[in-house]
Structure 1
Amino acid sequence: MKPETAAKKLGVLLEATPESFRSAPVSRSALQELQDSPPEWLVVLRREGPHPRPVVAARLGVSVAGLRRAELTEPQTTAQIQALLEHKPEWLLRERETHAAVMAENARVKRDRAAKAGSGGAPRD
C-alpha cells in the first residue's frame, strides 16, 4: 500500500515519518508489524505528534469539520492539544457541544433503526 495509506492506518502524519517510510510501499505484513511492535520513531510520533486532523479532533472531542470551522488546519502536537484543553477557547466548547449533540442524535437514530428492524419494520395499528 502507499505510504499515505499506511500512515493513515497508523494514525500518524506522513510528513513527520522517516524518509525510509515515505519512500517505499508498505506491505500488509510490514504494517501489521508496525502496529504490533512499533519502532521508537512511531512511539514518539504517536505520543508527541505532530498529529493529523482526525487524531487532533478525537483528542479534542470535536469533529474534523469543527476543526476546520475553527480554522485549525495545521497539524498539532500533543503539547498544543493539551494547551487547548487547558485553556478551553470558546470555539472548542461550542464545537464539543455540537459534536456531542450529533453523536447523541446518531445513537438515537441507530437505536430507532434497530428497534424497527427487531419489530419487523412495520408499525402496528
Structure 2
Amino acid sequence: MTTQDLARVPGPVPGGRRRFAGAGQLPGRRRDRYPDQVSKPKKSQVMKPSTAAEKLDVYLPAMPREFQERLISREELDELQRNPPQWLVDLRRNGPHPRNVVAARLRISNSGLARGGITEPLTTAQIAALVADPPEWLARERETHAEVLREQRRLRERREGTGGATA
C-alpha cells in the first residue's frame, strides 16, 4: 500500500498517531472551539397545588383560591414553610385537616380511619370531640395501630440485633 492508498482508508493509520484529539470526537471538531460555553439558567421546579398542600399538611379545598389554581415553585413552598402566612397558620391550627393529619391526631392508621367510617376531613374541634369521648371503633383501631407499631419495632430491633441479616 502506498501513502496515497492509506490516505483513502477511513480510521487511524496503521502504526501512526490517532487522527483526533479526543476519543469520541467527530472529525473537524476541536475541544477548544467553544471555550466559553454558557449553560442555560436553571428553571425553578414547580409542583401542582395538591402536591404542595400535601407537603404543607393542609387540606387543599380549604386553601385560598389563588393557591389552588396555579403551580407552586419549590422556592415558594420553602418560603411558606419558613414564614407561613396567617391563613396557613389558621388552617393548620383549626382545620379542616387532610386524612393523614386526622389519623395521626387520633393515633390510628389511615385504613383505621376508613374502617371507622370517617371519609370527610375533620376540624380540630371535631377531632377533640372524638378524643374526649372515643367511640368503640376508635378504641379498637388505636389498639390495632399500637399493636402494628409494636410488631414493626420488634422486627426492626431483631434485624438490627442480627447485623441486618434476616433469620
TM-score by shorter chain over 0.5:
yes
Q: Does the CA contact (< 8 Å) of 2:98 and 2:121 recur in 1? A: yes
The reply to whether residue 3 of structure 1 matches residue 27 of structure 2 is: no
Q: Moved runs in structure 1, 4+ residues, more than 4 A?
A: none
Which of residues 113, 116, 125 in structure 2 aligns to 1:70?
116
- Structure 2: where are the runs of 5+ without partners? 1-46
Distance (whole Å) between structure 2 residues aligned to residue 116 and residue 15 of structure 1: 48
Distance (whole Å) between structure 2 residues aligned to residue 9 and residue 51 of structure 1: 13
The aligned residue for residue 106 of structure 1 is 152
The aligned residue for residue 60 of structure 2 is 14
Residue identity in the other structure for 2:144: T
Following superposition, the deviation at residue 70 of structure 1 comes to 0.6
The aligned residue for residue 80 of structure 1 is 126
Distance (whole Å) between structure 1 residues aligned to residue 76 and residue 68 of structure 2: 13
Distance (whole Å) between structure 2 residues aligned to residue 24 and residue 77 of structure 1: 25
Residue identity in the other structure for 1:88: P
Following superposition, the deviation at residue 117 of structure 1 comes to 2.0
Following superposition, the deviation at residue 122 of structure 1 comes to 7.8
The structure with the largest alpha-carbon Rg is 2
The reply to whether residue 60 of structure 1 matches residue 106 of structure 2 is: yes
Following superposition, the deviation at residue 113 of structure 1 comes to 1.1
Q: Say how many residue pairs are matched.
A: 121
- Structure 1: where are the runs of 5+ without partners? none
Post-superposition CA distance 1:80-125 (Å, at most 9, x none): 000000011111100000000000101111111111226xx387xx
The alignment yields a C-alpha RMSD, in angstroms, of 1.2
Distance (whole Å) between structure 2 residues aligned to residue 37 and residue 110 of structure 1: 37
- The percent identity for this pair of structures is 56
Residue identity in the other structure for 1:50: P
Q: Does the CA contact (< 8 Å) of 2:94 and 2:123 recur in 1? A: yes
